[in-house]
Structure 1
Amino acid sequence: MRSAMPLALAALLLGCAHKSVGGPVSVRSESVKEDDAELFLDLTYEPRGPRQVELVLKMRVGGIVETNKLVAEVYIQGFNVEGSGATRWDGFVPPRTPQTFRVLLTVADGFDEASATVMLSRSQDSNQLLREELTFAVDAEGRVHKQ
């Protein structure tokens, strides 16, 4: 029994070594000046289930100045919004309180390609802080890939 343990451990490690690493894929990571606040943005996507992808926009403030009211929106074409997700978030980003906007999307039946445009702007004057256009395709196994 004891000699079988190293063999089982080796097989487990070998199996893990060939699996593809999942997790979020960074699309854009930057800091922008928003009035007196320094706003750090991180936009990622992650393939989820068959024909699904999750878009995540993380926002945090560096320093002690809160942002003005912001509006994050996702404009979609060829996607359906899943669950109780919404394509719009609005609010403030206070110091030491990061905010996250996420939406789970499914490529609609009959489509092999879909697009999403992620935008972040100030509510008061629509000053655009972020705009990223993303196109995704579905492969033969149903996985979603960014083009």
Structure 2
Amino acid sequence: MDNAQAANLVHKPAAAPQSGVYSAALGEAGNTADGGMKLTYNPVAGDPIVRVQCEGVLTVRGRIGGEPLKDLLGPRCYGLQVVMNLERVVGVETSGISWVMQTGEKFNTTGGRLILFSVPVQVTSLFQLLEMDLPFAVAANQTAAVAMAQTPPR
């Protein structure tokens, strides 16, 4: 998929055309202090690369149905180039690791790409402990993640 095709797939949330927010808080919606995960879509005009901020605890525990990125970006999200910032992740649960692994697989099978960046040490340690092939790329920072997204996969 070239950049022009990807640009046509970018989903703009209907409620807020400049941004979008998904919250999987275990208590009240939007509250990450109680152990939930919040995803925020941060579009850049004219750029087909989708930028998402993840904060709180990387988890989908207590979530019923749906998929966080699909709920945030729309049904075509897995065909996009998505870079996800994890610098504000303060913890991780096995459900979160499972979710990100399954999400990476969906990107791979649909022709898109998921690139995580600014991954906290506790998340990186779990990836290393699992000794699995990761179905997504990991970059040190946003600049490196965007460069990866602009480079065709090997």
What TM-score, normalized by structure 2, do the two folds share?
A: 0.26
| Larger CA Rg, structure 1 vs 2 | 1
What TM-score, normalized by structure 1, do the two folds share?
A: 0.26
Structure with bigger strand share is: 1
